[in-house]
A and B are shown apart, each in its own frame.
Chain A
Amino acid sequence: MEIVNVKNLKKLYGDFLAVDNISFHINKGEIFGFLGPNGAGKTSTINMLTGLSRPSGGEIHINSIDAVRDIKKVQRIIGIVPDESNLYGEMNGFDNLCFCAALYGMEKKEREKKAKELLNLFNLTEAGNRPFRAYSKGMKRKLTIAAGIIHNPKILFLDEPTTGIDVESARHIRKLILDLKDKGTTIFLTTHYLEEAQRICDRIALIVKGRIVKIGTVNELMESTMQGHIVQLTYQGRMETVQKELKEHFPGCTIKILSNDSSQLINKEPVPLFPLLQLLHNKGVSVYEAKEIKPTLEDVFVEITGLETDRANK
């Protein structure tokens, strides 16, 4: 069941077309990844979906509500975690959470109870009475996420939730995102970390220069760019001498010699390992490692977008 439906969405800043006629939907309860290089239009899209920006054209329906015409109704059922923490530095963690809950009209007792629960869930109970400005980056991120979910939103928009924080906090946040999904929250996630998206997203849309260039499940995206099945072999012996026999046994396969002791076999169909290893063994090539090489989401991203990703992100 679709909970977000976007049709021909467009955003112009003067003459600059930031979002160019994009259409997509998000199913209820899924984690939808929205990936793209810097300046691709991710934040512009989030801003239009959440009401921080007005679309120049197109339609947005969230939970069957027309978000272009009635954004305040939509804002009741969505939670937003921006890429930069936007809580109040002079207020402590507990008061920040209570204030955010009050913006959604929650009663005092209810918001205090929920704030305590969330501080506990995010391991921030001890820091609860410290000013927000004294928090570390990871703690700030966690509290900002807590503020985004304090009113139990049906849909949570997360803009790069793990960027610039330590490994432990990032792992904790990823676990919390998956827990939220288990509880039925639909999540719209933008991230620079392709490995993270591959690990937690159900479906992914790739956006480049304001246009969605590919959309699908992680497997669908990877299959769309797969040239064939690749087996990488590490061995002792001379691969050059058995190339002819290999091509006879596996017609259509290509052999790519990587080094003196390593080669790749690329075939349209999956390569059966046992006959392959037996053949090589009979020809004096002793294989001591054979592994299937699958493209990563980063490979897909690079191929589809034609852009190099930031390797440091890996």
Chain B
Amino acid sequence: MKTLTAFWNILIKDIRNYYLKPPNISWGIIFPLSWTLMQIIRSTENIDIIQLLPGLMAMSILFGTTSMLAVTITFERRGRSFDRLLLAPVSLSILVLAKISGAVLFGCLNAFVPVIFASFFVSLGGINWGILFTAVFLIALTSTLIGLLIAVSAKEVFEAQTLSNFFRFPMLFLCGLFLPIQQLPAALRPISFCLPLTYGTDLLKGTITGSSIMHSAFSILMLLAFAAGLFLISRRSIQKKWIL
């Protein structure tokens, strides 16, 4: 019960202090909107919103989660308020879970902004919502954990932002969002399959457009494996780097 109280309060504190701030709310709305508009403007033919949706959702989650967590944790580390959490009688696993939960929620909500807009223009009746929710949650979880790993490596906020971009942009181009994996140069394809976003995007594509290259159960398993691996690495890195 005491652990749950601590977990809940860390989560609520993060939501109030960081995720519900007007700049972040506007980021969550403006970012997916601007990507949609960009696609519409650059397209010479009639655009198929359904085809755009998986990419928009994946990008919204990736950008929302990685930057938010990396920046907020680096900010707390600099202000030494993160030490207060490390000094509290809360296990490191619970602490990591509490810190990532806010970002995961933020990422999930970001993902549904394009879905809400799309629902005004096209029918979303064919979507398997169970798989869609699972995919969104798992992409948010793995992206947040990547953000946490970045936070552990960075000392300053600007460093965290630079490192985030270093990971995010190559991931976007290699995960099959812009270019199907089959069309990537043969040398780059193995890298694609080492990225959690590849499996998340494929899941989203499968449930929204019906054009996945992997079985949904396999992608879910891979995302779970990535989440577990990233969680353990992040936890170990925190213990090694922050509890000197």
CB <8 Å contact, A82 and B79: no
Residue in B closest to A87 when the chains form the complex, CB atoms? B81
CA distance A192 to B1 in the complex (A): 41
Q: Mark A123-147, 1 if CB is under 8 A from B, else 0.
A: 0000000000000000000000001
The count of residues in chain B whose C-beta lies closer than 8 Å to any C-beta of chain A is 24
CA distance A90 to B13 in the complex (A): 11
CB <8 Å contact, A82 and B6: no
In the complex, which residues of chain B have a beta carbon less than 8 angstroms from the beta carbon of A147? Answer: 84
Q: Contact partner of B243 among A52, A82, A87, A107, CB < 8 A?
A: A52
Residue in B closest to A73 when the chains form the complex, CB atoms? B89
A75 within 8 Å of B (CB atoms): yes
CB <8 Å contact, A51 and B86: yes
CB <8 Å contact, B87 and A80: yes
Q: Nearest Cβ in chain B — how far from A72, in angstroms?
A: 5
CB <8 Å contact, B3 and A105: yes
In the complex, which residues of chain A have a beta carbon less than 8 angstroms from the beta carbon of B90? Answer: 72, 103
Q: Contact partner of B5 among A75, A100, A102, CB < 8 A?
A: A102
Q: Nearest Cβ in chain A — how far from B238, in angstroms?
A: 12
In the complex, which residues of chain A have a beta carbon less than 8 angstroms from the beta carbon of B244? Answer: 13, 47, 52-54
CB <8 Å contact, A86 and B9: no
Interface SS of chain B: helix
CA distance A234 to B3 in the complex (A): 67
Q: Nearest Cβ in chain B — how far from A90, in angstroms?
A: 6
B91 within 8 Å of A (CB atoms): yes
In the complex, which residues of chain B have a beta carbon less than 8 angstroms from the beta carbon of A103? Answer: 6, 9-10, 84-85, 88-90
Known interface pairs A84-B80, A86-B81. Does A72 touch B89 (Cβ–Cβ under 8 Å)?
yes
In the complex, which residues of chain B have a beta carbon less than 8 angstroms from the beta carbon of A51? Answer: 86-87, 243
Point out which of A47, A86, A103, A104 has the most chain B C-beta atoms below 10 A from its C-beta. Answer: A103
Interface SS of chain A: loop
Within 8 A of A (CB), among B1-17: 1-3, 5-6, 8-10, 13, 17
Q: Contact partner of A107 among B5, B79, B81, CB < 8 A?
A: B5
The count of residues in chain A whose C-beta lies closer than 8 Å to any C-beta of chain B is 29
CB <8 Å contact, B88 and A75: yes
CB <8 Å contact, A104 and B88: yes
In the complex, which residues of chain A have a beta carbon less than 8 angstroms from the beta carbon of B80? Answer: 82, 84, 86
Within 8 A of A (CB), among B59-81: 79-81
CA distance A253 to B1 in the complex (A): 71
In the complex, which residues of chain B have a beta carbon less than 8 angstroms from the beta carbon of A72? Answer: 89-91
User: Which B residues contact A (CB, under 8 angstroms)?
Assistant: 1-3, 5-6, 8-10, 13, 17, 79-81, 83-91, 243-244
30 A-B residue pairings within 8 Å (CB atoms): A47-B244, A50-B87, A51-B86, A52-B83, A52-B87, A53-B243, A72-B90, A72-B91, A75-B87, A80-B87, A82-B83, A86-B84, A87-B81, A88-B13, A88-B79, A88-B81, A89-B79, A99-B13, A102-B8, A103-B9, A103-B10, A103-B84, A103-B85, A103-B88, A103-B89, A104-B89, A105-B3, A105-B5, A107-B5, A147-B84
17 further A-B pairs in the complex, CB-CB below 8 A; given A13-B244, A72-B90, A86-B80: A51-B87, A51-B243, A52-B83, A86-B84, A87-B84, A88-B81, A89-B79, A90-B17, A91-B13, A99-B13, A100-B84, A103-B89, A104-B88, A105-B1, A105-B3, A105-B6, A106-B5
